[in-house]
Structure 1
Amino acid sequence: MPHQQTNRKMVTLGLLAALFIGALDVTVVSTAMPHIINDLSGLSLVSWVFSIYTLTTCVATPIFGKLTDLFGRRSVFTIGLILFVLGSILCGAAQSMTALIWFRALQGIGAGALTPVTFTIIGDLYPGEQRGKMQGVFASVWSVAGLLGPLVGGYFVDYVNWRWIFYMNIPIGIVSFFLVFVFLREQFEKKAKSIDYGGAAAFTIGISALLYALLSGGERYPWTSATILGLFVVAAAALILFVWIEKHAKEPMIPLSIFRNRVMNVSNISGFLAFSVSTGTSIYAPMWIQTLLGFSATASGLMVMPMSIAWPVAANLAGRYMYRIGAKKIVIFGALVVLLGGVWLTALTLQSPYWFLVGILTVIGFGMGCVSTPATVLVQSVVGWQQRGVATAANSLMRSLGQTVGVAVFGTLFNSYLVEHTPAEIAGGIHAVFLAIFIIAVLNTVAVCFLPAQRQIVEMQKANES
């Protein structure tokens, strides 16, 4: 085992704290944005405060994942946490919207280490059935942060200052740093390491170009513009070069061998599809109830809360029982529940009551909890310690890409229905998105059926635990 004399309780608390501030930062900024705009101006740049964070997190995630396998978990986690806290300090001190965007980029790089490395350390510290339970607990942090984010952000904006939504990360970050750095012990083989600089550069260029195209297409630039098409060409060329480099690198950033593992492939495809479903639902269901049914923003916000509650409940149940019932059965059950929510979405009409949407979000949230947690545990269980970091990071990246691609596809589909922005056009556009969500849910259900039988999964787990 790579960990000896580690105080698991203290390290777990430190990891929870780090994951919490990383997750909270995603939602808390939205609440404060009107006040940030008043102070810093730059309304036209607002979307990039969120987009740049997504972009740098996606790029950094697999790079940090590989570094944890090369240099150990503690050092890479520490670097990520320091970058995140430093980014938070600079964001709080920003004097212009442009500066805030650059500092959010630094924050995103730090977040690219916090999430995958945190889940990797948990995968190291807790074996077998305990790992499932703990991954369920840690998955719940995102939902708790989603519920608390608007409240915390609202409090600081109303009673203190919007800058404190960033400054509050400092004390929590210091506590997390102390608990993990002091109490996490690693025995690590000291030998010369070969860093895949070429692969990292090609991946960074390819993913950055792809995400910039997806985040800008249809809004800043038309999809058929030379800029967007050029970005897609650059992305394709860089990613093809990346694959070539990985085939020949001594220590590849993402070993292509992990993609010969059926559990990895199915989990990554499912992560991409399922997280595009959850993102599309959480964006367009509130839009339906606000724009078409005339409910307030508060009512719309309250409608999303059951999804944030059902997800962690299911994640904890799935983590607790996946070894008794079988991971494949739980994942397929979760995919079917998400599909049920997708069917219900397509049946919505303008006469549908408010509770229909609450029910749909609850169903999809519960299904997502059953899909996501077992998938994380499976990915970590079917690879050895030396590849656990990069495998976890690759799975996180595919989920993030699913969200980003989903937003781009759904947005393009929705906008294609809008000519005069009449209620009928808006309803048609949202309904088209719901139909697309249903189709993706079907594909996700088909994908998870290709997971190996439980007996094969257990054999792979035993081989990697020994």
Structure 2
Amino acid sequence: MTTAPPDQKPEHARPNLAHKQIMLLMGGLMTGMLLAALDQTIVGTALPTIVGDLGGLDHYSWVVTAYLLASTASTPLYGKISDLYGRRPVLLFAISTFLLGSLLAGLSQDMTQLIITRAVQGIGAGGLMTLAFTIVSDVVAPRERARYQGLFGAVFGISSVAGPLVGGYFAENDWRWIFYINVPLGIFALYVCSRVLRLVPHQRRDHRIDYLGAGLMVAAVSAILLALSWGGNEYSWGSPTILGLFAAGAVLTALFIVAEVRAEEPILPLRLFKRSTFSLANTATFILGFAMFGSIIYVPLYLQIVKGASPTGSGLLMLPMMAGVIVTSIVAGRVISKIGRYKWFPVAGTVIMGSGLLLFTTLEVDTPLWQAFIYMTVIGVGLGMAMQPLILAVQNAVDLRDMGAGTSAATFFRSLGGSVGVAALGAVMNNRLSEQMSGNGMSGVSINAPAEVRKLPAQVLSMVEHVFVNALHPVFLVAAIVALVGTVVTIALPNRPLQGGTPLPKESEEDAAADMEAKVAAF
């Protein structure tokens, strides 16, 4: 009797869906993922306008923090619960929750209501992110899955640029449509996923929900993310509040591990970490999130403060990065499906991304835009090569019964890495900027509002531009070093072939498509 290698579990039966059927399902999943990804960035450029309308400047940061906290903390829960109850009802719940939160956010009359409804949005978004990858893994074998998941990378590329762009546009017109626009798109996703997912069977099994583990995990993640979000902003890093939150996060994490060891149906099965591919891929995903989210947010600031671009204009100027992510994600997915292996794509991707970040350390006030565009494209190409193959590696290392938990773990570590990256690199930026401003006798000058910076006298503006660019250099340097650490981790990944990969014969595909159309028409 033969057994599968520890990092490569045997395949289970999957529904016999043709390419057209899968693309129909992908349309709904990609729409839902686009909504969740957009709402991570779309609010930022409109926040000053929203605060001016609703008031509550002291709660400014909570509009972003509430969404980030709710989406990150809920992500692992969706994976495990969908393993137990099936993907369809859990995904429909996530979409409906996101839609409800979006509608209520648009109707908010004060900052408290907006913060609460943003948290509701975040709860739904946590499911949209992780379940999209998980559902594709249910219906497509890993080798064929790469070409479909490459499209998800394109969605992230679009959202990274379209978020600030669309947010800036609605801020200049009616900011409430930032949230209302989600409703028709969400209804489309709800309709398509509801119909198509009826054809994806779920084998129910006896289970127990790990309520204790779920509660401890949410509490631990919340404490850590609050400390990272508030540290250096609301409170100093050495304040009792921040230190207390970090201590609480550490204690709760330890209790969570103990609870998971004892649980019959753990939310995050710790046995998965015994597989080297699972552990290394999630580590690399955390590192990628750190370098990506923690550094790229400063590129639009450079374009606005130094180059004088508007929020909408800075979004358009980020198109080279988006193009790099989209094209490379799709091409890499197709190549991976063809050759059946993924390891050297994240290796090359982290090297290229790190190189792009190093190039950004050479930015100066007078750097021409075409040169910055080249740097953006390099980073985009690296991201497109590394992001999706790492999730594919995680999925290839787990059994189908753990697919939801495994996929949600990858999404969770990427989000957590982004949160840590934003906090850590933000601290580097703030410290360097403070030193530069004080050293040049500019302590009283604020650069929080780029539009106001551009109104400063020419001599002061010139000093601000040089100080800001000098403060950016160590940010991109640290991010580049972190990305290159990711290279070391991805090199250690086992180079195992992807499972499956035998496509349906044309006749079978056409028969399956006709069968599906008949079933859908019956609903």
TM-score normalised over the length of structure 2: 0.82
Match in the other structure for 1:431: 473
SS in 2 for 1:144: helix
Cα separation, 2, equivalents of 1:234 and 1:281? 28
Counterpart pick for 1:95 among 109, 113, 133 = 109
Write the distance in 2 (CA, Å) between the matches of 1:190 and 1:290.
53
CA distance in 1, matches of 2:22, 2:468: 52
CA distance in 2, matches of 1:247, 1:117: 25
Alignment of 1:52-451 (within 5 A): 52-154=66-168, 156-158=170-172, 161-184=174-197, 185-292=199-306, 300-325=314-339, 326-417=341-432, 418-419=434-435, 420=437, 422=440, 423=464, 425-451=467-493
Deviation at 1:170, TM superposition (A): 2.0
Post-superposition CA distance 1:32-52 (Å, at most 9, x none): 333322321112222211111
Contact 2:235 2:242 in 1 (8 A): yes
SS in structure 2 opposite 1:327?
A: coil
Whole-angstrom CA distance in 2 between matches of 1:158 and 1:288: 21
Whichever of the two has the greater Rg, that structure is 2
Match of 1:26 in 2: 40
Q: Give the Å deviation of 1:156.
A: 4.5
Once residues 175 and 485 of structure 2 are traced to their aligned partners in structure 1, the CA distance between those partners, rounded to angstroms, is 42
Report the 3-state secondary structure (helix = DSSP H, G, I; strand = E; otherwise coil) of the residue aligned with 2:390: helix
Which string of whole-angstrom CA distances, capped at 9 and with x for unpartnered residues, describes residues 369-428 of structure 1? 100111122211221111111111111111111111111111111222214354465344
Q: Distance in 2 between matches of 1:290 and 1:174?
A: 35
- Relative to total residues, which structure has the larger helix share, 1 or 2? 1
**Conserved? CA contact 2:165–2:312, under 8 Å:** no
The count of residues paired between Structure 1 and Structure 2 equals: 459
Answer whether contact 2:73 2:221 (CA < 8 A) is retained: yes
Query: Aligned with 1:416: secondary structure?
Result: helix
Letter aligned with residue 187 of structure 1:
P
Q: For residue 439 of structure 1, report the CA deviation from its aligned partner.
A: 1.3
Higher mean C-alpha deviation, range 266-275 or range 64-73: 266-275
Secondary structure in structure 1 of the residue aligned to 2:79: helix
List alignment gaps of at least 5 residues for structure 2: 1-12, 441-463, 502-523
Q: Which stretch of the first structure deviates more once superposed, 289-298 or 233-242? A: 289-298
What's the offset of the Cα at 1:327?
1.0
Gap runs ≥5 in structure 1:
none
What amino acid is aligned across from residue 450 of structure 1 in structure 2?
Answer: A
Is contact 1:65-1:117 (8 Å) kept?
Answer: yes
Distance 1:232 1:156, change over 3 A: closer
Residue identity over aligned pairs, in percent, reads 37
Q: Is the 8 A contact 2:99 2:183 kept in 1?
A: yes
Q: Relative to structure 2, which stretch is displaced further, 288-297 or 390-399? A: 288-297
Please give the alpha-carbon distance, in whole angstroms, between the structure 2 residues aligned to 1:141 and 1:299. Answer: 20
Bigger drift between 100-109 and 275-284 goes to 275-284
| Contact 1:146–1:308 (8 Å) recurs in 2 | yes
Report Cα offsets for 1:237-273 as digits up to 9, x if no partner. Answer: 0000001111110011000111111111121111111
Q: Secondary structure at the match of 1:452?
A: coil
Give the AA of the match of 1:433: V
The change in CA–CA distance for 1:157 and 1:225 in structure 2 (over 3 A counts) is: closer
Distance in 2 of aligned mates of 1:167 and 1:287: 27
Measure how far apart 1:25 and its partner are.
2.4
Query: Quick one: higher RCO (CA 8 Å, sep 6+), 1 or 2?
Result: 2
CA RMSD for the aligned pairs?
Answer: 2.3
Aligned residue number for residue 8 of structure 1:
22
Residues 415 and 24 from structure 1, CA distance in 2 versus in 1: closer, same or farther, beyond 3 angstroms?
A: closer
Alignment partners' CA distance in 1, 2:222 and 2:196? 36
